[in-house]
Chain A
Amino acid sequence: MTNSHTTTNTKLINHDFVYHSPDTLDDALKCLGEPGAVVLAGGTDLINKLKLETAHPSTVVFIGDVGQLHNFTHAAGLSIGAMVTMSAVERSPVVRRNYTCLYEAVHSVGGQQIRNTATLAGNVGNASPAADAPPALAVLGAQCELGMIGKNGEIEFRTVSVEQIFSGPGKTIMRPGEIIVSITVPEPPSACGSSFQKNGRVKLDVAKASAAAFLHRDGDTCAELRIAAGSVAPTMVRASTVEQALRGRKMSMQAVIEASGKIAKDIAPISDVRSTDCYRSRVMNVLVRDAILEAWKRAEGEKLV
């Protein structure tokens, strides 16, 4: 005899849990120290997981009442608290002007209602290989400030780069009870440009493949290039082969095309419900190339031929 239950019931959350909504970071992290506790920020990933029964937390800790987590400053780099929404990031003129790939990545996430509640930190912490913000944050050199209650009962902070935080699909190096408290992004120097390119089934979709590029121009040379790819490996990946092929080189269309063509070495795409490995490989070339060209243009480089 087996239970008859088959389909999920996404009208309900079929799972009991203890719910906390503390108003200080200290209390929040204490609650999160309980075994089986998960953090609730915007909820656009967690609620889906609860309804689809892929998450079974015993405790849910809502951090939206913690005032300091709503802080969003942009003097000498960005500091983005854990509760800062995608739409807040998207609406910032500074982000749009100086951190263009982050604006483009955030703007490409879901619909307006999703972005109004989803948080930037949540998009990182959820650790989906297809997430849009992480490649953009990685090429901008963003850091995550992590916090948890240490053995002495005090909050312990540490800093990990966005690039280093992922350990697998849905997995990060964060310890139990640890959360992203804020994300900081260094201010790009002048003569820099960045771009985020995404391919999905429709515009309102998770990426089939995505690429972010950050480029520092020195005259007609590519002084520095950072590229990250999404949805083509178990985690977001840096495209170091492509980067090396262009770094320090005089820019030309031919050089960009050749370098982009090397992306296959940096990625390991699979076939799934959204696309095929073959298509992802093909389209990744195009996304990387377009991201580099767009970043070059934004770094005020000469039009390449």
Chain B
Amino acid sequence: MKKEFQFLGKDFPRKEGRARANGFEKYPSDLYFDNMLYGRILRSPYPHARIKSIDFSEAEKLGAVCVSYEDAPGKRFNLRLVSVPKATYKDWQLFSDHMRQVGDFFGAVAAETEELAEQAARVVKVEWEILPAYMSMDAALAAKDNLIHDKVFLEDQEIKIKNNIACTREVVEGDIEAGFQEADVIVETEFETPRQYHCQLEPRSCVVRPEADGGITVWPTTQAVHNTRILIGSVFNLPLNKVNVVRITGGGHFGSGIHTNPVTLITTALALKSKRPVKIVQSREEDMYDHVRYPSKYVLKVGARKDGTLVAGHMRAYIDIGCHHIQALAYLGVMSGFWHSLYRMENMKYEGTAVYTNKVPTCAMQGYGAPQVTFGVEGTMDMLAEKLEIDPIQLRIKNYVGLGEVFWGQGPTVKSPIFSDGVVELLKKGAESIGYYKRPGSQKQTGRYRRGIGFARGFHTSGTGAPVPGEVKDYTTVQVKVNEDGTIDILTALMDHGGGTLDAAAKIVAEEFQVPFDKVGISPADTRSTGYDVCTHATRGVYCGAGAAHEVAKKTKDVLLEYAARYLDAYPDSLIFSYDEKSGQTRISVWGNPEKTTTIAAVAEHAMNKDWGTAIYSKSIRKVACPPAYTNYFVEVEVDTETGHVKILRVVAGSDAGTVINPILAKGQLHGGFYRGAGMALLENTSYDDKTGCLTNKGSMIDYKMLGIDEMPDPDDFEVIFADTYEPTGPMGAKGIGEAAFNPAPAAVTSAICDAIGIRFTKLPILPEDIMDALGEGHDK
């Protein structure tokens, strides 16, 4: 049950909203320094090739500074440092002579202007040896030689690659063969999800400035300043106190900044060689060749008893990861974990295989493996419900993993118990609000336009904390300081992607101290002034990040209480904080002694003048749980059976985020998550020309279509219901929301289409062309 708060649960404007609206906010692409050079990355025109030689002489005549694999340290690494070393495959090098995709990078040039850098890049001559390209998993798996990678490293151990298999993962619980024996009904289906491009507004970019002390300052587009610092230090053999990575607002990430982007390392190489500041802002087409969501292709087999009890499940997944590991092992792990945590099954087996192809390297995108897995699992639940003639909502309620059970937050090594669960409440309210039980269904409709109501449920983890260490690092370091006028500053490397993570931290600290929100500030942060923060990913921002701020705020408050107790001649445990709206001051009073009262400001100032010190505290905090943030979507669509167009008419979103910190932003997360999820269902994909290895859209937004405002329902037809839950392990009862807002959306849209026209699609995106083909054939597709 929710608690009453002074500040939480009320709408607040964003702290940086004004700066963003009027253009004052600086992004990496806005930065300019005197003497700065502009870089341009050299990229392969071939999907698979080896470079025999490079000739930079013409570029150098234009005054360009050039770097390539010839002057790069050969060290192997992984760009993503979220996992522990023993679970991190290393197949990247700063530059390589082995080109593994169109757009792969082998060097870079820097010059006085962006135009000159472009000219210099164009006169670099390369001698190529073309290798056979593997543009599909089948082709890659059949290959015996000319592999995309011959070897990769796990810590210092060399691993030989066979048939382009990057890694595999098997997770087994119980005995599936025995389980399927018990099943009365079995559903087995192949599902496929697309290579969705992040399409963050700001392309991955970086500015690096060499400093007089031999160090560098780095302004990257990243979700992980500390991991970026550590990787740069390791790749370039720089001491970590000489690498200062600055937290700067990024123009969106959606997961594309969890790993350190190649552009960051390339800019660093140019800055170190030229000894001048260097800036690279990638073009949109470079960015589209830089990162993409993990696709998925899997066969899911699930067995159930007549009464709807699930007894066994088997998932066999093949993942086309493109030409590099950005931690596919972790991706395979979370696929198993998210599947495991959707529905209870005593007997489960997950087999995942990650396959290299000569395509864009895949990485996390909002939801990680959850939208992919939820799509198939929720589709399967609908099919089982139909076969068993059980209400689809009741089938979910009977089998979902909820209160008191164990949740796998990030694969099989990150598990914790579930302490809060709003699933039943949200399913019931959502069904009621949209009129789920009043829907006509596909059988009863005729005519051009058919309406359907569908739903899907899911969740995301709130961070990757757990009671015991797993494969994933998870902690955040925070310093909270009370200033001498009673205002408060929070210093942390925690990142905010635009969802309001840092505002949430400020609001929670404000609540703890009972000071107004505008009296809590977020200090500028860089890696030299802050302790480690793993990264803002896995929907850990509020639960782990702001949660760490809350824990540290309590410690800082203890220091302040000591000073206040001395000042008021009372005991710390007897002091109470209360906000006095009239004076705008937060009072500290001794209970039962109304005359003994002061303010935070007076105590802080007194403590300074008496040389007691500053009320300040700094600590690294790890969460020891990873609660699921549950979400469900009920969606009503209208399908035009003559054109195959799908119109989303209404959405009822249900979100179990525990205590809602800032409702207006939380609702925004649901609108945004649904929007991209619907895009994944209906439109977004990147495909390849197998002959040239190029993206068919050539990296251009002209042919990477996303849903627009015209394709979304009227905001008045988008209802958000928050569950009445309180997460006991969370900061003031809060858990995550960001990725949870995405995960069931593609499945829900697919379910609604099925309800409208009676066709269940198992491959995304569902284009009008697919709908017309399926309607023409008159059977499932």
Interface residues of A (CB under 8 A from B): 1-12, 14, 48, 52, 199, 201-206, 273-276, 278-279, 282-283, 286
Contacts and interface: CB of A to CB of B under 8 A. Distances in A.
Nearest to A11: B283
Given A6-B103, A283-B643, A202 B285 contact: no
Given A202-B707, A274-B703, A276-B769, A7 B126 contact: no
B185 interface: no
A5 B121 contact: yes
18 contacts: A4-B45, A4-B106, A4-B122, A5-B45, A7-B103, A7-B289, A9-B285, A10-B285, A199-B645, A202-B705, A202-B708, A204-B708, A204-B710, A273-B697, A275-B769, A278-B773, A283-B644, A283-B772
Given A52-B698, A273-B697, A282-B772, 20 more contacts: A1-B55, A2-B45, A2-B128, A4-B45, A4-B121, A5-B122, A8-B699, A9-B283, A9-B285, A10-B283, A12-B114, A199-B768, A202-B707, A202-B711, A204-B710, A205-B705, A206-B702, A273-B703, A278-B773, A283-B642
Nearest to B282: A11
For the complex of A and B, the 7 pairs showing the least CB-CB separation, nearest first, are A203-B710, A6-B45, A1-B125, A5-B122, A279-B769, A4-B124, A201-B705
A40 B53 CA distance: 42
Interface string B691-706: 0000011111011011
Nearest to A205: B705
A89 to B, nearest CB: 20
A273 B513 CA distance: 57
Contacts of A8: 283, 285, 698-699
B126 A1 contact: yes
Nearest to A273: B703
A12 B289 CA distance: 18
A286 B643 contact: yes
A9 B118 contact: yes
A244 to B, nearest CB: 24
A7 B700 CA distance: 10
Given A204-B710, A279-B768, A3 B283 contact: no
Contacts of B706: 202
Nearest to A282: B772
A203 B712 CA distance: 11
A17 to B, nearest CB: 14
Given A204-B708, A273-B697, A286-B643, A6 B102 contact: yes
B43 interface: yes
Contacts of B699: 7-8
A4 B43 contact: yes
B393 interface: no
B632 interface: no
Given A7-B285, A7-B699, A10-B700, A199 B643 contact: yes
By DSSP majority rule, is chain A's interface helix, strand, loop, or mixed?
Answer: loop
A97 to B, nearest CB: 24
A131 to B, nearest CB: 14
Contacts of B121: 4-5
A48 B702 CA distance: 10
B293 interface: no
Given A5-B121, A7-B103, A9-B40, A203 B711 contact: yes
A14 B118 CA distance: 8
Interface in B726-771: 768-769
B284 interface: yes
Given A2-B125, A279-B768, A202 B43 contact: no
A203 B286 CA distance: 26
A273 B281 CA distance: 28
B565 to A, nearest CB: 60
Nearest to A279: B769
Contacts of B702: 48, 206
A204 B710 CA distance: 8
Contacts of A14: 115, 118-119, 122
B206 to A, nearest CB: 15
A59 to B, nearest CB: 19
A84 B382 CA distance: 54
B431 to A, nearest CB: 30
Nearest to A283: B643
Given A202-B710, A205-B705, A11 B683 contact: no
Contacts of A52: 698, 700
B123 interface: yes
Contacts of B114: 11-12
A163 to B, nearest CB: 26
B44 interface: yes
B42 interface: yes
B355 to A, nearest CB: 25
A207 B345 CA distance: 48
B115 A12 contact: yes
Nearest to B125: A1
Interface string B276-310: 00000101111001000000000000000000000
B156 interface: no
B43 A12 contact: no
A93 to B, nearest CB: 23
Given A273-B696, A286-B643, A4 B285 contact: no
A202 to B, nearest CB: 5
B281 A3 contact: no
Contacts of B708: 202-204
A201 to B, nearest CB: 4
